[in-house]
Structures are given as C-alpha cells and as structure tokens.
Amino acid sequence: MLVIRPIKQSDYDALHTCAVESGHGFTSLPINEELLTNRIAHSEYSFAKQDVTEPGDEGYLMVGYDTESGEVAGTTGVEAAIGWDVPFYSYHISKVVHSSQKLGVNNIVKLLTFGNNYTGCSEICTLFLRPNFRGGLNGRLMSKCRFLLMAEHPERFSKTIFAEMRGVSDAEGNSPFWQWLQEHFFSIDFTLADYLTGIGKKGFIADLMPKLPIYVNLLSQEAQAVIGEVHDNTRPALKLLEREGFTNRGYVDIFDAGPTVECDLRNIESVRHSIRSQVQIADHASSKDFLIGNTSFENFRAVAAKAAYDQVTNTVILSPEVASALEVKEGEFVRILAQ
C-alpha cells in the first residue's frame, strides 16, 4: 500500500533519488544538497505551523512510501503563496491586430508579455512518481491527495490554484524555446538556467529577460511550435489536471514555454466531490476504490484503498490495515473521494 505523508529529514536520500531520476526541466527538484535539505526543513516548519488563517510563506512537501518495502515511491507538494519572497515570472500570450483599411490588410499577431501575474497564488508542484510505482491508483493518489488536503483545510491556500507543466525538451535537456532566447538574450544553456532557477538564483531573469513584449512570429519555427506544449512524460499529469477542471489561461513558462494551468479551489472536481465521513473499522468485502485522507494537517496521511461508504449514515467502513495507515480510530473522520 502506498501512503502519503509529510516529508521529514530522514527522507533526504529518497528525495535526492527523485531529483536525479526526474531529469532535466524539473525545476522544483534541483540536485543540490543544501536546497533539498532546506526545502525539507521548510516543509516541516510549514506543517507544524499552527493557527494559519491565510496562505503565506508555507511550502508543503510530501512523500509516498510503500508500506511493504518502506521504499519512497515519489514526492508531491504545494506552495501556499508564491512570488512574495522570490519573484515568480511567466509569459502571457495575447493578441494584437495590425490593420489597414486602406490596404485591406488585417493581421492578428501573438505576443509574449513578461509578468508576475500568479503572485500570491497557491502552486501545486514537485509531483514525481518513480517508474517502478507507476501503476494502479498511485499516480492519482500522488496528485489528488493535495486536493483532499485543500478541501479539509482551505484557509491555508489561495482562491486560485495553478500548476506549471513541464515543456518540451530533448533527452539532453535542450529546449527549442530556450535556444531562441539563449541566442538573442541569455548566452547560457537551458540546463544551467533551469538549475539556477531551481536553487533560487533568479536575479539573472530580471536582468536579462526582454522587458517589452515579444512577437511570437519573430521566433524560430522550432520555438513557436513548442509554445504551450508539454513534455511527453508530463502528458498524464496534464490530462489528470484537466479532468479536475484546470485550464490554460494563456500563461506559459519563461524557459521552456510549457503551459500553466489553473482552477478556482472551490471548482476543483476532487474538492467539490470529496466527502467528510465518520470512520467504522471492520473487515468488509467492498470492491469500490476511494482516495482517503485523514483530517489532520500536521500528521496528514492519504491512501488509495477499498472502502464501503453508507450515504444514509455518512459513515465509511475501513479495514484495520487502512485505518492504521491513516492513523485514525473508530468514530473519527476522514475525507473520501470515490474513484
């Protein structure tokens, strides 16, 4: 059974493994001991923080571990409010019309405008599931456990939830979009720019990024082709978020031009349809799958398991094994989401 829980310092080696296996373009997992250690410490601080009434500098990082082997299968996280301490940049795609009635010419041209429009929003991030564990409901659990957390503790998150999707790059980490920017503005390769961003050294972006809007039709054909497109490995994650109600509002990443998708927290499907239900512990023969999270924040736990839900009494029957994994007792509450 895969169990999601808040990360702790003893998970450093596992998180480092995830950082190595995630490859190029996974900015939120830099292969840097100091940064990974600091991120774990910040997550521990954030989960322990009491009396939070609005999102602030908190960053919540979790891991999924296999109860049989004890092996960490992956990681998933949420940043409560981005852009306050370190600027968060993105490009917005807009259109302008160049028209001449005299000549009978009307041209619609796309622009990329540099900005900080997601400042203060909550970001779901750092979702990585190791290859050996990509089966069953594991991927859904790693992604949707964050929505169970949000549904139970909405005061800790912003109205708008967004996610940056990994853009197109090759096996060596080369991004066609970045190659155009590199040639004209940056003179450093994509992997270095990506790494510097991951370790928080973003000053070069503001220093070197063109401040005026960029006409898309001036970019190379290769760069234009990948704007708003996702890396092949990211397609399943994007489809899952789209089914949750996330959509692209014209924002893309400034490095690889991968799409940014967003949704109002209250409109996320898993938030809307999750149910707070009282626990009964007993063996049962139900064949229905649920994602289940306890109602604790500091000691949050989530699993994908069989359960029996009674709508009339709003009770859910959990096996002793599942109840133990969730660290809940008879009569306590859990949040469930049918699959």
Catalytic residues: 231
Count CB neighbours of 283 within 10 A.
9
d(CA 47, CA 262): 24
What region, left, alpha or beta, does residue 245 occupy, with left being phi > 0 and alpha being psi -120 to 50 degrees?
left
Point out which residues pair with 291 in neighbouring strands: 304, 337
d(CA 204, CA 216): 22
Sign of CA dihedral 318, 278, 338, 302: negative
Residues 6+ apart with CB under 8 A from 325: 1, 3, 67, 301, 303, 305
d(CA 43, CA 30): 16
Q: What Rg do the C-alpha atoms of the chain give, in angstroms?
A: 22
